[in-house]
């Protein structure tokens, strides 16, 4: 059976789109160094307001400079769908979601992640294979739903054309978008496009082949 090309779903286009909501636009600003600087005559420790984005000043409320992530799906809802558990559950929150079409998930990369002591002790970089796994889990949230016919007992994935653009380090927030582009519903095979960002920088991309089994 020929794979039917599906129209692009209406999930928000990342990292830039004229229709991107304000909270995602702020989230996806290009990565900038937050190192605090001060004139030579001033103390080394600068006020907290100095860490704001360009065009902001100390009178801007902190909640407007750093708005909270929206929560479309929290960790408990994610655990209800995905079979993964510690230390291999790599999606903390979903901030945009359309079942059977697309999802945008986040992974907060912290120095306490269990892979950093060995990768690497002097330069904590998130392993590329775990970035791919995290993206595949976001894809699982798209496909492993009753309305799509997926089942968490049968879930496999293949990858193709994966490229790593920039390293992801401790302290980054990895934003992952998975979009369904082809579906063979009869055979339960789906092809997805995945892209991952830190700020406005594309850090990883690739194609994912997923097979889901019905219960």
**Cβ contact 68:61 at 8 Å:** no
Instruction: Find, among 140, 148, 147, 159, the residue nearest to 185 by Cα.
Output: 148
Q: Tell me the residue range of the domain where 155 lies.
A: 69-212
The mean pLDDT value for 83-94 works out to 91
For residue 77, CA distances in Å to 25, 57, 70, 74, 99 come to 25, 38, 14, 5, 13
pLDDT band, residue 10 (cuts 50/70/90): low
Residue 84 domain flag: yes
**Which CATH number does the domain housing residue 140 bear?**
3.10.129.10
Q: Which two tokens stand for residue 122?
A: 């002097």
Q: Is the pLDDT of residue 15 over 60?
A: no
Residue 206 domain flag: yes
Residue 102 domain flag: yes
pLDDT band, residue 179 (cuts 50/70/90): very high
Number of domains present in the structure of the chain: 1
The mean pLDDT value for 101-110 works out to 93
pLDDT in tens, 24-80: 555 555 555 444 444 444 333 333 333 334 444 555 564 455 556 677 889 999 998
Residue with tokens 């229709």: 19
At residue 34, the pLDDT reads: 42
Catalytic residues: 119
The whole-model pTM stands at 0.69
pLDDT in tens, 114-131: 889 888 888 899 999 999
**120 cis-preceded (ω within 30 degrees of 0):** yes
In this predicted model, which residue has the larger pLDDT, 170 or 118?
A: 170
Question: What does the alpha-carbon distance between residue 133 and residue 91 come to, in Å, rounded to a whole number?
Answer: 10
């Amino acid at each position: 059976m020929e794979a039917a090309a599906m129209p692009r779903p209406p999930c928000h286009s990342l990292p830039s789109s004229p229709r991107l909501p304000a909270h995602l636009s702020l989230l996806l600003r290009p990565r900038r160094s937050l190192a605090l600087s001060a004139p030579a005559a001033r103390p080394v420790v600068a006020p907290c307001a100095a860490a704001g984005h360009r065009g902001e000043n100390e009178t801007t409320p902190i909640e407007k400079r750093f708005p909270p992530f929206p929560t479309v799906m929290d960790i408990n809802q994610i655990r209800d769908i995905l079979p993964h558990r510690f230390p291999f559950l790599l999606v903390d929150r979903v901030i945009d979601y359309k079942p059977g079409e697309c999802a945008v998930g986040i992974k907060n990369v912290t120095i306490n992640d269990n892979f950093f002591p060995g990768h690497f002790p002097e330069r904590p970089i998130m392993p590329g294979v775990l970035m791919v796994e995290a993206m595949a889990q976001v894809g699982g949230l798209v496909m492993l739903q009753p309305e799509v016919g997926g089942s968490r007992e049968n879930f496999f994935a293949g990858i193709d054309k994966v490229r790593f653009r920039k390293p992801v380090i401790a302290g980054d927030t990895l934003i992952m978008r998975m979009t369904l582009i082809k579906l063979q519903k009869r055979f339960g095979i789906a092809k997805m496009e995945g892209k991952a960002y830190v700020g406005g920088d594309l850090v990883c991309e690739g194609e994912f082949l997923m097979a889901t089994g019905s219960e």
